[in-house]
Each structure stands twice: as C-alpha cells, then as structure tokens.
C-alpha cells in the first residue's frame, strides 16, 4: 500500500453496476454505461464537501476506485486487470437537485468541487482478487453500505476492457466502479466514511477510512446563467433510496388521502404475545374469533409453500389494481409500490398482497423474497401467484399463495399503493392487523383481540388434549366432547388447564 493518490487525467464513472442497487432502482442494465467527472472534483480524505445553497439532495455513494497503471487500448478481458495499478476508496458524491437537466451526463450533478474524494491509501492491485473486494460506507458512524465486487453485474476487469475499446486509459486515470444499495442523502454536519478492503487476501489490505464532512454553501446559483436546481418526488425517492426514507406518502396523490403508516410490529406484537400465537393453531384461533362474532377473518384460497411453517406477524399491505397500459407505464416501472414495500418491510412484519384472487400472474419472485427475508420479514401472504416458486421456498421465506405461476407482474397487475386497507382472499386487512398462518390457512386478527383469543385458544387446546386422553382410554365422546356438567366437574377436579398444561402433546 502507498499513501499517495495521484491526480487523475480523467475520471470515468459507471451509472449502475451492483445487483443490489439495480434491484433497488427496479432496472438492471444489459451493458455498462458511463459518464465523466472532472479532475477538479477530486478531494483528499479529511476534507469537506459543500452542499450548495438552495439544494437539498446531496447523496453519498461509496465505491471501489481503480487507478490505471499502464496504458490500456483495446485490451482483452484476460489482460485487463494487469493494467490496474491500485485500488482505493472513493465517494462518488452527487447532487440530485441538478440531475434532471443533465440527462445522464451528470456534468453538474456529479462534477462539483470536492465531489470525488479518493483514498486515503492505495492497495496494490497485484495483491488482491478483483472479484473479492469489499466496499463499506458509514454516515456518522452508522454502517449504510456493505457489499463486495462479487455482487457486481459487470466484473471490474470487464469495465477496464470495455472502456479501452473506446479510448486509451492512461496511467493515473481513475475508474469509479459504481455503488451498491444503501446510498442516501446527507446533510451539513454529516461525516461520511468509505473503506475498500480485501479481507480474504494476505494481510487484509485496506484503503483506510476515506473521511468527508458535509458543509453548507452560502452562494446561490445565478439564475441568469443556466437552469436552476429543481427536485420532484422521483428525485427525492432515488436520492434517499426509498419513498419512505424520503418522507413521502406511499399512496399515489390521486387517492383521497394517504393511508397511515403501519405501526411498528413491536408496538402490537410483544414477544410474549408472539409466543402465544406461535403455539396456538389457526383452527383453534378461528373458533375463538367465531365465538366473538368475527366470521370474516379467513384469507381463503391460499396455502403455504413450506409445509409445517408457522407464520406470525403484523401486516404491511400492498394493493395491485388490474393491468392497464397507461397506468402500468406510470406506476409499474422503476422503484414502484411493490419494490418500495419489499425494500422497507421490517422484522416481524408480514407483507399482505391484494391481487384480487388472480392466480394467473406472479406477485413476487425470488429476488423480492430474498430482500424480504434479509430484512427479517415474517413472510408474505398473497391471493395471487408466485414466480420462481421453488427458489422462493429454498430461500426459506414463508409465502402463502394460490401457487406457482411463471408470468411477470405486468401480465395482470399494476402495483398501486402500500399500507392502506386492502382485501386479500376475501378478508379485509389493515396495516398493523395480526396475521397468523399454518398448514390449515391464514387468519387476520384485530390487534385488540389478539391476546384474548390466543389465551382462550391455548386453554381450549389443553382442554381438548385432556378430552383426547379420555377418549383414548375408551370413553365415548357423547357428553365428553363437548363436556357436559359431569365431565366438566371431573376436568376441574383433575386440575383443569392448570395441571394438564401440555397433556396429549
């Protein structure tokens, strides 16, 4: 490793290269595309970057930077890495307020002074495997990005070879290789740190922490010289990483009112209540709900992809509307409602999807299932179909659905809104409702009733277990199931549900 980061002749950056970022954006490129950054944007570790006056969406992007060592022109994939001298950390800072009018060139949005911090140390490229580098980024000490070059759509060597087809890569040139998911907005006072390392290489070489502090600019742009900063909800969503992170309503503005966000699972589903509901079978819970006048608590027509699975969690809801070409064009692509919810679901939550009982289209697939499982979701319930059915089951995410279907979402559905009251399998589901599922099916339980019906169900289960022991001993069911006064007295004399907790299990 060295301590010197040379000033580059040119800086080439890739638009989109990590699978995690592509999935977050809802688009995966077939080939890499690039833009240039000026060498005047380079900054050293420990410096500052200014958020210009009148702007709001300055975002960080932790990246692996490649520094060219020997000239490369029309080199092949096999030789490309030999032209890389060093690897280091970079922060490809960008101002989304100026992005719209750049139309992909990123001249103004990415070219500001200090918008390309590099360093602080260089890792000898000959000592590392280009497929096994790690990049991490922290904001105010909190880890925000953590990915490896193994998660890239386009390998590092391919970027070198591809660029060399078009122009000569000269010694000192820098290639910024893209950022993984987790990039978001930073504000004045924030401190961003980026580190690139090779933890599995001998000596675990590292770039060290590249540190940049955000400051507030005081000089506004001159409105007589060019287009001014402007933002919309799309730019806010992409800058922050999600509509939720940007503080935007998830329901379209055309609806009468945005639905309230789902309450955190921890506020309605304590560990104790979760344990009770996990033990209580849905058959018993449904009987207790029926006794309390709740007859429409069943999500009909769905079955679980992993037999023997128990699902307990609070509902996050997603509504699809029937496919229509113009609506799919406006709501189906990019970071749509479906992707936003799967990217924001939290631990112990269940994504419940209204697909109008249409089993002839997939409503999720393996990538979204993996994202939900990674975020700790309890599972998914959909009254539609599931793509990549076997792969989703292998991921281990419990999914209750109408079964497998190979088609993509756009065949039947438009992802419309999240965290609003929906209908799934004939049942009304609101954000925060408690969802319980097992091999018998799925129930929707109003949160206010959950503890009461769980305790009553387990009491009934203990009673049923005692009855089963009597039937096994040869007693007829008449008068015993349900218990008449005589059998009730025997049960109570035997200790009732107190001494027989767990009998017959």
Residue 399, domain CATH:
3.50.30.40
Helix (H, G, I), strand (E, B) or coil at 461: helix
Residue 251, pLDDT above cutoff 70: no
Per-residue confidence (pLDDT) for residue 496, from 0 to 100: 66
The CA–CA distances, whole Å, from 74 to 67, 77, 86, 270 equal 17, 10, 20, 61
User: Looking up tokens 């004045």, which residue turns up?
Assistant: 188
Per-residue confidence (pLDDT) for residue 235, from 0 to 100: 81
- Residue range 399-425: average pLDDT? 91
Q: Which residue has the higher pLDDT, 382 or 407?
A: 382
Mean pLDDT of the chain: 88
Last residue of a domain, which of 407, 425, 445?
445
Is residue 208 domain-shared with residue 342, that is, in the same domain?
no
Is residue 107 domain-shared with residue 193, that is, in the same domain?
yes
Is residue 180 domain-shared with residue 315, that is, in the same domain?
no
The CA–CA distances, whole Å, from 365 to 256, 378, 383, 404 equal 31, 16, 14, 10
- Residue range 430-459: average pLDDT? 93
Q: What is the pLDDT of residues 457-500, one digit of tens each?
A: 998 888 888 888 989 989 888 888 888 888 888 888 887 643 33
Residue 252, pLDDT above cutoff 70: no
The total domain count for the chain is 3
Confirm whether 195 is domain-assigned: yes
Count CA atoms closer than 13 A to 496's CA, side-chain side: 7
Cβ atoms of residues 445 and 273 within 8 Å? no
Instruction: Out of 52-61, 322-331, 492-501, pick the least confident.
Output: 492-501
Is residue 433 domain-shared with residue 456, that is, in the same domain?
no
Instruction: Out of 2-11, 127-136, 305-314, 439-448, pick the least confident.
Output: 2-11
Is residue 172 domain-shared with residue 110, that is, in the same domain?
yes
- 285 in the Ramachandran plot: left (φ > 0), alpha (ψ -120 to 50) or beta? alpha
Is residue 432 domain-shared with residue 495, that is, in the same domain?
no
Residue 250, pLDDT above cutoff 70: no
Is residue 233 domain-shared with residue 91, that is, in the same domain?
yes
Q: What is the pLDDT of residues 155-210, one digit of tens each?
A: 999 999 999 999 999 999 999 999 999 999 999 999 999 999 999 999 999 999 99
The rounded percent of the chain whose pLDDT value lies above 90 is 65
In 3D, which of 407, 259, 400 has the Cα closest to residue 341? 259
Per-residue confidence (pLDDT) for residue 59, from 0 to 100: 95
- Residue range 288-299: average pLDDT? 90
Residue 137, pLDDT above cutoff 70: yes
Residue 504, pLDDT above cutoff 50: no
Q: Structure tokens of 211?
A: 């540190």
Cβ atoms of residues 383 and 406 within 8 Å? no
Confirm whether 202 is domain-assigned: yes
CATH of residue 78's domain is 3.90.850.10
Helix 282-291 to helix 447-472 angle, to the nearest 10 degrees?
A: 110
Q: Which residue has the higher pLDDT, 410 or 95?
A: 95
Residue 253, pLDDT above cutoff 60: no
Per-residue confidence (pLDDT) for residue 223, from 0 to 100: 75
Confirm whether 2 is domain-assigned: no
Residue 261, pLDDT above cutoff 90: no
Last residue of a domain, which of 399, 414, 445?
445
Per-residue confidence (pLDDT) for residue 488, from 0 to 100: 83
Cβ atoms of residues 116 and 91 within 8 Å? yes
Extended beta strands in 433-487, E state: 434-438, 441-445
CA angle, residues 289, 291, 294, in degrees to nearest 5:
45
Is residue 495 domain-shared with residue 411, that is, in the same domain?
no
Q: What is the pLDDT of residues 209-230, one digit of tens each?
A: 999 999 998 888 887 787 778 8
User: Could you tell me the pLDDT band of residue 354, with boundaries at 50, 70 and 90?
Assistant: very high
Instruction: Out of 106-110, 234-238, 382-386, pick the least confident.
Output: 234-238
User: Could you tell me the pLDDT band of residue 249, with boundaries at 50, 70 and 90?
Assistant: low
Q: Structure tokens of 82?
A: 């030999």
Confirm whether 250 is domain-assigned: no
Confirm whether 128 is domain-assigned: yes
Q: Tell if the pTM clears 0.75, that is, is over it.
A: no
Per-residue confidence (pLDDT) for residue 3, from 0 to 100: 54
Q: What is the rounded distance in angstroms from the CA atom of residue 133 to the CA atom of residue 476?
A: 70
Is residue 111 domain-shared with residue 235, that is, in the same domain?
yes
Confirm whether 378 is domain-assigned: yes
In 3D, which of 465, 501, 455 has the Cα closest to residue 276? 455
Is residue 403 domain-shared with residue 441, that is, in the same domain?
yes
Q: What is the rounded distance in angstroms from the CA atom of residue 150 to the CA atom of residue 412?
A: 35
In 3D, which of 294, 407, 427 has the Cα closest to residue 357? 427
Is residue 275 domain-shared with residue 177, that is, in the same domain?
no
Instruction: Out of 46-55, 101-110, 384-393, pick the least confident.
Output: 101-110
- Residue range 62-84: average pLDDT? 96
Confirm whether 253 is domain-assigned: no
Sheet hosting strand 116-124, strand order edge to edge? 34-37, 11-14, 174-176, 62-68, 84-91, 116-124, 42-43
Q: What is the rounded distance in angstroms from the CA atom of residue 113 to the CA atom of residue 8?
A: 14
In 3D, which of 201, 160, 153 has the Cα closest to residue 178? 153
For 466, counting Cβ atoms within 10 Å of its Cβ (0-12 exposed, 13-18 middle, 19+ buried), the class is buried
Gyration radius of the chain over CA positions: 28
Last residue of a domain, which of 445, 460, 478?
445
Q: Which residue has the higher pLDDT, 333 or 373?
A: 373
Domain residue limits at 328 = 265-279+295-445
Q: What is the rounded distance in angstroms from the CA atom of residue 213 to the CA atom of residue 194?
A: 12
Is residue 141 domain-shared with residue 218, that is, in the same domain?
yes
For 179, counting Cβ atoms within 10 Å of its Cβ (0-12 exposed, 13-18 middle, 19+ buried), the class is buried
Q: Structure tokens of 201?
A: 């290489």
Q: What is the rounded distance in angstroms from the CA atom of residue 121 to the CA atom of residue 105?
A: 29
Q: What is the rounded distance in angstroms from the CA atom of residue 442 to the CA atom of residue 166?
A: 57
Q: Which residue has the higher pLDDT, 60 or 408?
A: 60
Residue 41, pLDDT above cutoff 90: yes
Confirm whether 125 is domain-assigned: yes
């Amino acid at each position: 490793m060295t301590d010197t980061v040379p000033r580059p002749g040119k800086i080439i950056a890739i638009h989109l290269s990590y699978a995690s970022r592509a999935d977050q954006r809802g688009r995966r490129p077939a080939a890499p595309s690039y833009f240039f950054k000026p060498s005047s944007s380079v900054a050293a570790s420990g410096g500052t970057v200014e958020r210009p006056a009148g702007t709001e969406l300055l975002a960080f992007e932790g990246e692996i930077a490649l520094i060219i060592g020997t000239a490369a022109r029309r080199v092949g994939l096999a030789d490309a890495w030999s032209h890389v001298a060093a690897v280091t950390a970079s922060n490809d800072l960008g101002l989304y307020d100026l992005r719209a009018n750049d139309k992909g060139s990123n001249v103004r949005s990415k070219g500001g002074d200090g918008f390309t911090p590099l360093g602080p140390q260089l890792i000898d490229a000959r000592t590392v495997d280009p497929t096994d580098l790690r990049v991490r980024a922290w904001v105010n000490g909190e880890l925000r990005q953590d990915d490896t070059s193994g998660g890239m759509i386009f390998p590092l060597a391919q970027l070198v070879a591809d660029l060399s087809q078009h122009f000569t890569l000269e010694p000192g040139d820098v290639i910024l290789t893209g950022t993984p998911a987790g990039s978001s907005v930073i504000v004045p006072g924030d401190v961003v740190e980026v580190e690139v390392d090779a933890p599995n290489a001998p000596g675990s070489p590292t770039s060290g922490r590249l540190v940049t502090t955000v400051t507030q600019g005081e000089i506004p742009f001159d409105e007589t010289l060019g287009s001014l900063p402007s933002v919309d909800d799309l730019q806010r969503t992409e800058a922050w990483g999600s509509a939720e992170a940007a503080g935007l309503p998830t329901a379209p503005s055309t609806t009468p009112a945005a639905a309230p966000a789902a309450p955190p699972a921890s506020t309605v589903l304590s560990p104790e209540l979760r344990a009770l509901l996990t033990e209580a079978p849905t058959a018993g819970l449904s009987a207790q709900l029926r006794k309390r006048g709740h007859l429409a608590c069943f999500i009909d027509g769905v079955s679980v992809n992993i037999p023997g699975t128990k699902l307990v969690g609070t509902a996050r809801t997603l509504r699809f509307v029937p496919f229509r070409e113009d609506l799919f064009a406006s709501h189906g692509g990019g970071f749509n409602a479906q992707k936003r919810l799967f990217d924001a679901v939290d631990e112990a939550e269940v994504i419940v999807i209204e697909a109008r009982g249409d089993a002839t289209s997939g409503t999720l697939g393996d990538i979204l299932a993996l994202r939900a499982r990674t975020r700790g979701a309890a599972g998914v319930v959909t009254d539609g179909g599931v793509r990549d059915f076997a792969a989703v089951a292998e991921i281990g995410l419990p999914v209750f659905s109408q079964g497998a279907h190979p088609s993509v979402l756009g065949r039947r559905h438009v992802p419309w809104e999240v965290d609003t009251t929906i209908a799934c399998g004939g049942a009304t589901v609101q954000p925060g409702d408690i969802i319980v599922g097992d091999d018998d099916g799925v129930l929707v339980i109003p949160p206010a009733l959950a503890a009461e019906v769980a305790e009553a169900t387990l009491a009934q289960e203990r009673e049923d277990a005692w009855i089963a022991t009597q039937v096994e001993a040869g007693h007829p069911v008449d008068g015993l199931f349900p218990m008449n006064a005589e059998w009730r007295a025997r049960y109570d004399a035997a200790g009732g549900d107190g001494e027989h907790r767990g009998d017959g299990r």
